[in-house]
Chains A and B, each alone.
Chain A
């Protein structure tokens, strides 16, 4: 438990300063072929201060949360900023003032489960794989819990406390074909503490059955024909596309660094069917997988509408880039750990649903692919992307055909999004995503299915 209120330290600020006290708590249980390979808990807590002076920053952190340490950290951060200012003499403008306050505690109200109960839960999942799924040659189940608890005070007067939990189970199943391993993994759970996310093991069974069935078909699967094809990208692929290929190019620090999106503001960059938003905390009336109400610079987090009906509308900002771009900060400044400085990070990036029905979209494809799950993805400042695809099917004459073995898709996102001819009317979130940009950070990615032309790898 960290102190929820830091107001008593405000007198120690001389320049613009953020004071943050934070604790990250995690729990990891890994069961490999029935053996508990990892059974560990960790906590990491401390205090940090970041100070801005004439265009440069000083940041200092320490692992103790005491009055004395907090005072020293604020003084040292100020000293670091002064050191740089004395050398750089940048004469930068003051940062925009933002004022927000609030408390968002998403701790469970249910009695906490013991580690023994968590291990029993995971072993029950493992037993079901053994009992129900024939032909599995290797299996791994991984429970990954993370609580991020933060208190913030800024010299602008913002104050915030949040406890944002995430609970994920990853299941990897492997079967063999002619002695060659073929794997399919899936992620379960998302926002909330374990007790609120995983009621009983049988709540996972339906999705596990689907995962096994997809793997069974993948074992008999084929490699896709390489080339540019009509494809239906299901929600999880649309989500990673939104995050990796469009989202990153529209983070204002990347725009400053030369991202191609810097040239496209207020221009048509996608089909008019595409609206893409980085949601702060609520989307379509529901809480997002990674709700951010006040960011780590004390700015009220607002949705960033990046593409509106095909037109690039805005970038994501922290206070410093908002100054440089003569606009408002959007509340995207986030830090992962107490000893990390806030960076511009996405929160919950998604393409909005359209009006088409998924089955009708599949029926409209004569020769193409229905691509369902990504492994990982990377994109460039040019919006050129590459995603691994681990689950998908061929489409022949409007009907789902054989399953696909692992493949990749690639292209230039701002070109590819112009080929979108249909967007489904449903929406799914990927709640297990972690984005890497100097620091890791949990993110949500979501979307409907989209019909487009995309370059598929083949073998």
Chain B
């Protein structure tokens, strides 16, 4: 079976024939062309092709799933038998279900093929730029890739989606070094539909590379204070991931989420509006349908500080009795605020510019702490110096409520668009 749509149809038919009344099949073909550089030199051209065929079946509310990366009839027939065994072995749970019928749709985004010569030229130019502009910077690892995905979703309720998606991705990890002194490592990246400009011009790349060269000599944060923290767009992603965890299936099903009773309640300062926009034209990566078979839509998670949706899938929604989300999260965008970054820094009496956090996972109650990396001490409205061995601690719920300002400037990473966010009442302690 060479035709990919025929394969998914064969899978659904085989699952039904095996006596599985609710069946779902996702077939994904992916290819990646990846250029790697180590220590500022191109080192590897990697080309990978893979297939993933995921079959899910439900019998009498009992669920089983099998994923393989073969598409020949013998492998599929074996996988169908395994789905049957897994589902029959499980325990009934009325929350198990597949998505209801929706109109069939095909989606397409981004280029179909990489421009390998352009990729080579761009990464070479990036390495040259770094070498000449930031001679103290060591590019430990640089990866430029192009990912092409073709996906099919079919289920026994007649849902039939197909998507083709191609985009470039870039990541650079670097350390600045002079003699025996060095900065902490830092990294950034982006996604893009084309490579129409130099790599250092995307996202926050050039700014972070420059800042690393300032961070070779660091000083201790003075004492222990409760003060302000301005989170950079690169660092903000860590906080958003933690918020998303409290809004997702596991936290809400176990009832441990700090937001379990907060739908339509004020959970953040009214300045904060957070979207998840996986099908936005502004997002190069993203997705078109969810893993449980719903066409993805853009959503607003927090509007003017009010929680408007959880990030529950079909199972989680059934299990908790709360509404299902229209997407699976990610592709986050925060609306720009009214203050310039300079105004935000000027407003800080004592605090830090938090550029990267090395932190533990937050506790179930939202408490977290971490070390401020690649970060700066701010005093009387001025950035004083880069800091070392500085710990911050707070509670995630309080962080959202203690937002003081959001910047008018935002960074477009291609997979997220985020501003700087100023938070009050953070415990900051030096050594």
Contact = CB atoms under 8 A, between A and B. Distances in A.
B380 interface: no
A34 B300 CA distance: 33
Contacts of A181: 256, 364-365
A212 B78 CA distance: 41
A46 interface: yes
Most buried by A among B45, B65, B93, B359: B45
A288 to B, nearest CB: 27
B177 interface: yes
Given A80-B45, A174-B254, A375-B361, A410 B182 contact: no
A57 B46 CA distance: 8
B154 to A, nearest CB: 18
A182 interface: yes
Nearest to B171: A438
B132 interface: no
Contacts of A32: 250, 253-254
B91 A36 contact: yes
A291 interface: no
Given A37-B253, A43-B67, A258-B175, A180 B365 contact: yes
A114 B363 CA distance: 36
Interface string A384-413: 101110000000000000000111101110
B403 to A, nearest CB: 21
A174 B360 contact: no
Contacts of A180: 365
Interface string B375-411: 0000000000000110101000000000000000000
Nearest to A381: B185
A84 B116 CA distance: 11
A384 B44 contact: no
A3 interface: no
Given A114-B89, A174-B254, A339-B50, A39 B365 contact: no
A57 B43 contact: yes
B184 interface: yes
A251 to B, nearest CB: 11
Chain B interface residue bracket vs A? 35 or more
Interface string B63-76: 11111111000000
Interface stretch (B8-16, B336-344, B366-374): B366-374
B175 A381 contact: yes
Contact of B363 (A87, A183, A257): A183
Nearest to B46: A59
A90 interface: yes
Contacts of A43: 67-69
B184 A386 contact: no
B3 interface: no
A119 B91 contact: yes
Contacts of B70: 45, 63-64
Nearest to A48: B48
Contacts of B51: 63
Interface in B45-61: 45-52
B126 interface: no
A254 B140 CA distance: 7
A416 to B, nearest CB: 11
B367 A56 contact: no
A38 B64 CA distance: 8
Interface in A220-274: 226, 228, 253-254, 256-258, 260, 263
Given A59-B48, A378-B358, A386-B371, 17 more contacts: A35-B91, A39-B90, A40-B86, A41-B66, A44-B69, A56-B43, A59-B46, A76-B47, A80-B47, A139-B254, A181-B364, A183-B364, A226-B224, A260-B182, A377-B360, A381-B185, A407-B369
15 contacts: A33-B254, A35-B91, A35-B95, A36-B63, A43-B69, A57-B44, A63-B51, A119-B91, A180-B365, A376-B360, A382-B182, A406-B360, A407-B369, A408-B360, A408-B391
